[in-house]
Every structure is written in structure tokens, then in C-alpha cells.
Amino acid sequence: MQSLLSNLEAVRQRVAVAARDCGRPAEAVRLLAVSKTFPALDVQTIAQGGQIDFGENYIQEGVEKIVTLKHTNSLLVWHCIGPIQSNKTKLAAENFDWVHSIDRLKIAQRLSEQRPSGLQPLQVCLQVNVDGGATKSGVAPDEVLALAQAVMQLPQLQLRGLMTIPEPAVTFELQLQLHQQTKKLFDELKSQLYLEAFDTLSMGMTADLEAAIHAGATMVRVGTALFGQRDAV
């Protein structure tokens, strides 16, 4: 338990140092704690350290934790960051606050239709496949504008930005190049969409959060450095 809280402190330090090194305020980068495969109890411990945002990849697993923690930790903000099949949109729309992984209109339409009207609109990012990794999900860069314009029309969704998971790169320079490509795309879109709320660039994980922050990430998604090594699933 103590080690989870010291992990949190260490990750906050990494974020703060990276932000300082490129002249950005540490508050410009929001930390998303990726709790996939770890129990609700670990989430609660990290939350006691003041962490608010949590990310889950698997909808069913995420919803179980959301429901478990709802009454004791009602201020937590839950982000779905994994691939979404059509048969899981309802569960996601009813339970999460954010979805980062929208890569086609059909999924966005279902999420909007299924978002309960009593809740605030679902906050969404489009997942973009910047480096063309063939095995990965994400919309192609030349299709992202059309998708963004369509998603903006959906009443129960609020389009917030882009999310990306680049291929792992070993050097800081290579990581930076990839993240800068996404930042450029983000800036182009922002100038084309005229959307005040388009303010989120979700990129950077345990291995590359410094490069992502240098490139302009506003949200980094960190699992391993906070919760520890995951068992293979």
C-alpha cells in the first residue's frame, strides 16, 4: 500500500520534471492512472493519494470496479481506453465518464444513443493510428477530420481530442518524433474544428511519458509505473 503511494509520488515527479524541462506548467498534464488487471482495492489506495482519473481497457472489468467504488469514491473519473465492440457500447455509455478509443462513427453513434440523458455528455477522444501500425486500431490520419466533424454532431458526446498509442520506440528522439506527428495533427484539427472543448491530447505511457509531454501531451496514461508489472493476460 505504501509502495503504491510512493509510486504515485514518483510518477508525479516524472511528470513535473518533464513539464519543467520543456517549459510547460505541471498542471498542463493530467495523469490518468491505468488500473487494468489490478483490483479495486489498489485503485482505492491510489485514490487516497489524491489521484482522480483512472483508465480501464476492458469494459466489463472496468465497470465492476466502477460499481464497487461508486459509493466510497464518487468523485473518481473513469476513462475507457481500450477497443470497444458494438455489444459493449451500452455498458460503456452507462458507466464511464470518458472514452478515448473511438475509431469509427458507428461506435460513436451507439455511445451517443445509449448515454443516459441524466448524465453529462460522454467525453470522447478519437484514437488515431499515426504511424500506420497495421495491427493496431485507430483511424487513419487522413480520415480523422471527417470522423471528428461527424462525432461533433452527436448530442450525447463531447469531442475532447485525440488519443494515440504509437509503436514502442527505444530512443527518446524516436518517441518524440512520433508524438510530434500526433501533436501536429491535433493542432491542424483544432484550427479546422472551431471547438473550444477540443483540448485533450492523450498520449504517453510508462515508457515514453517524457517524450509525450515534450511533444505537448495534455494527458498521460500510466499503468506499470503506478501499479507494478501486469501479469500476462
Ligand X SMILES: *Cc1c(COP(=O)(O)O)cnc(C)c1O
Instruction: Give residues in contact with ligand X (CB under 6 A).
Output: 34, 36, 57, 81, 165, 205-207, 221-224
- 170 vs 194, beta carbon nearer ligand X: 170
What long-range pairs does 44-47 form, CB within 8 A, spacing at least 24?
Answer: 44/69, 44/72, 44/73, 45/1, 45/4, 45/5, 46/4, 46/5, 46/8, 46/226, 46/227, 47/73, 47/76
Instruction: Report the nearest approach of ligand X to the CB of residue 86 (Å).
Output: 20
- Residue with the shortest CB distance to ligand X: 223
215 vs 202: CA distance, rounded Å: 11
- 60 vs 191, beta carbon nearer ligand X: 60
Instruction: Report the nearest approach of ligand X to the CB of residue 151 (Å).
Output: 19
- 156 vs 223, beta carbon nearer ligand X: 223
Collapsing DSSP to helix, strand or coil, 80 comes out as strand
- 36 vs 179, beta carbon nearer ligand X: 36
- 156 vs 213, beta carbon nearer ligand X: 213
140 vs 189: CA distance, rounded Å: 13
User: How many CA atoms lie within 13 Å of 179's alpha carbon, on the beta-carbon side?
Assistant: 27
DSSP bridge pairs for 129: none
Instruction: Report the nearest approach of ligand X to the CB of residue 28 (Å).
Output: 19
| H-helix segments, the chain | 2-21, 40-48, 59-69, 89-95, 105-114, 144-152, 172-193, 209-215, 224-227
Instruction: Write the DSSP symbol of residue 131.
Output: T
Instruction: Report the nearest approach of ligand X to the CB of residue 87 (Å).
Output: 20
Instruction: Report the nearest approach of ligand X to the CB of residue 173 (Å).
Output: 19
C-alpha cell belonging to residue 90: 451500452
Instruction: Report the nearest approach of ligand X to the CB of residue 203 (Å).
Output: 9
Radius of gyration of the chain (CA): 17
Q: What's the start-to-end Cα distance of the chain, in Å?
A: 23
- 107 vs 205, beta carbon nearer ligand X: 205
- 36 vs 88, beta carbon nearer ligand X: 36
Instruction: Report the nearest approach of ligand X to the CB of residue 102 (Å).
Output: 13
